[in-house]
Structure 1
Amino acid sequence: MKKFLNLFLLFCLPVLVVGCVMEFALRQIPNAYQVKSDYLETHRGRIKTLLLGSSHILYGVNPEYLTEEALNYGHVSQTIDIDYDILHRYISDLEALETVVLRLSYTTLFEQLKEGDEKWRIKDYTLYTDISLDSKIKDHFEILSVKLKYNLERIYKYYILNEAVEHVNKWGWASQEREQTPENIEAVSMRVAKKHTAPSDVFYSENYKILENIIKECTEKGIKVVLVTMPAYKDYIQHLDALQLEKTINAGMRMDLEYSNCTYLNYLNDNRFGRSDFLDADHLNTQGAEKFSKIIDGILRQ
């Protein structure tokens, strides 16, 4: 038995060493979560506008075009429960904060990251921010949260090819290397709209309450809330479920009516945005983001 244990330990030791080296290497790769967390910490006394939401905000609003100091704290697949966790964690520290811009998309009230296909992203908040989420043990390790193939690819691209993993400017806005609108955007629109249509409204009541709590917490601090439904490509809009879209828009309108510090803006069908402004069915590209950011800046300056 002792001989077996010795052989087992001898076998496990190299695996453990390789795992530790990989974990260390992965944590040294720059990422958007760390960039935004650091910026918030170093500019907490100057940030006047905080932008929260999913990739719609991440790619769609560039603080470079906003007059006042702003931070884009949007991330891919970031859901409203996490938006609230971010706000709740930092609202008392952001002494200059005047406005929170929050996306109210077709999916906002019908999803939560912890129950979705991309729940592995919880590890990024756990490892690289001060935001406390309901995390599991695996969420405290890169090598346990993501498939080995993907982690090896990240290491190869960063350390061997010297490629930037994420394209995020200092204000948190992200751009994509691929900027041209895909030729098959009509087909993509139908597929994405179907993917974004919730099978049920199991999260609706909880998320609606979270949205209200965000507004109430901002009310207590004298902070304005701007709810924004972002522009989307026309074919995507045509394939959205009418009831889910209606419940989303109605929620925004009710918040606007019930809370004096809240404004709801619906740009979903805004005709100022055409095919050339979209990265895909529901995300703006660099050109579209500049256009939309300037529109938002005009609202914030009123």
Structure 2
Amino acid sequence: MRTFLKLFLFFCLPVLVLGCAMEFALRQIPNAYQVKSDYLKAHHNSIKTLLLGSSHILYGVNPEFLTADALNYGHVSQTIDIDYAILRQHVNDLEALETVVLRLSYTTLFEQLKEGDERWRLKDYTLYTDVNLDSNLKDHFEILSVKFKYNLERLYAYYILNQTSEHVNARGWAFKEKDATIENIEDVSMRVAKKHTATSDALYSENYKILENIIKECNESGIKVVLVTMPAYKAYIQHLDPLQLEKTIMAGKLMDSKYKNCIYLNYLDDKRFETSDFLDADHLNSQGAKKFSKIINGILMQ
């Protein structure tokens, strides 16, 4: 038995040490979750506008073009249940908060991160923010949440090539180093629209209630809510399911009419946005984000 234990430790100990070293190294790589969490804590008494949502908000609204002190707390694939968790976690800490800008996209009422293919992103909230989410053991470790090959690529890129995959400014807006419209945007639009079309309404009722709870709780705290459906490329819009789109837009209009602290703005097919303003089928590039941010700022300043 002792011989077996010795052999077991002989083979397992190096793997354990390597795993711990890898976990430590991965956690030292700069990431947007840590940046935004730190900014919120440091500026909790001055932030007047909090931007929540998915990559549409992340890439589409640059707080540098907003008059009031704002933080973009959007992340890739961040769903409305997480928006709600972030707000509940910090609403009492944000002493100056006046407005929450919340994306109401084609997918908002039909998805949750924990139910999708990108569930692994939950580990970023668990590891790098103080947002309370339902999590399991693997969400507390980089090496258990992400494929080994991908983690090796991240380590190589950061420590050998001195590269980072995430670029965010101090107030949370993300940008691409090479910010140019993709050439095959027509084909991409069709594929992305199909990907974003829900296969069922299973999450609709729950997400609708979450949306309403956000607005209600903001109302109780004297906070305005601006629901925004952001601009998208024309070919993307053409391939959206009419019923899913209608349910999304109607939800926004209903909230607008029902709650005095809420307004709904639909810029999905806004003609002010041209092909040159888009990074891809449903995301604005830096030029488009500047244009959109100035439009939103005009609304916020009214």
Question: Which residue in the other structure is 1:178 paired with?
Answer: 178
String of CA shifts for 1:267-293, please: whole Å, max 9, x gaps: 000000010000000000000000000
The answer to whether structure 1 residue 297 and structure 2 residue 267 are counterparts is no
Question: Which residue in the other structure is 1:202 paired with?
Answer: 202
The answer to whether structure 1 residue 246 and structure 2 residue 253 are counterparts is no
Amino acid in structure 2 at the alignment position of 1:294:
K
Counterpart-to-counterpart distance in 1, 2:116 and 2:177: 26
Question: Which residue in the other structure is 2:77 paired with?
Answer: 77
Amino acid in structure 2 at the alignment position of 1:251:
A
Moved beyond 6 Å, runs of 4+: none
- 2:228 partner SS: strand
- 1:143 partner SS: helix
1:85-100 to 2 correspondence within 5 Å? 85-100=85-100
1:148-163 to 2 correspondence within 5 Å? 148-163=148-163
String of CA shifts for 1:133-184, please: whole Å, max 9, x gaps: 0001000000000001111111111111111331000000000123211111
Amino acid in structure 2 at the alignment position of 1:34:
Q
Q: CA RMSD in A?
A: 0.6
Unaligned 5+ segments in structure 2 are: none
Counterpart-to-counterpart distance in 1, 2:164 and 2:144: 23
Give the number of aligned pairs.
Answer: 302
Counterpart-to-counterpart distance in 2, 1:173 and 1:107: 21
Instruction: Please say if residues 30 and 165 of structure 1, whose CA atoms lie closer than 8 Å, have aligned partners that are also in contact.
Output: no
Counterpart-to-counterpart distance in 2, 1:178 and 1:119: 28
Q: Which shifted more, 156-165 or 217-226?
A: 156-165
- 2:260 partner SS: coil
Per the TM alignment, residue 126 of structure 1 is displaced from its structure 2 partner at its CA by 0.2
Question: Which residue in the other structure is 2:135 paired with?
Answer: 135
TM-score w.r.t. structure 2 length? 0.99
Question: Which residue in the other structure is 1:114 paired with?
Answer: 114
Counterpart-to-counterpart distance in 1, 2:120 and 2:254: 33
- 1:71 partner SS: strand
Q: Percent identity?
A: 79
1:58-73 to 2 correspondence within 5 Å? 58-73=58-73
Counterpart-to-counterpart distance in 2, 1:178 and 1:10: 48
Counterpart-to-counterpart distance in 2, 1:76 and 1:26: 19
Per the TM alignment, residue 80 of structure 1 is displaced from its structure 2 partner at its CA by 0.1
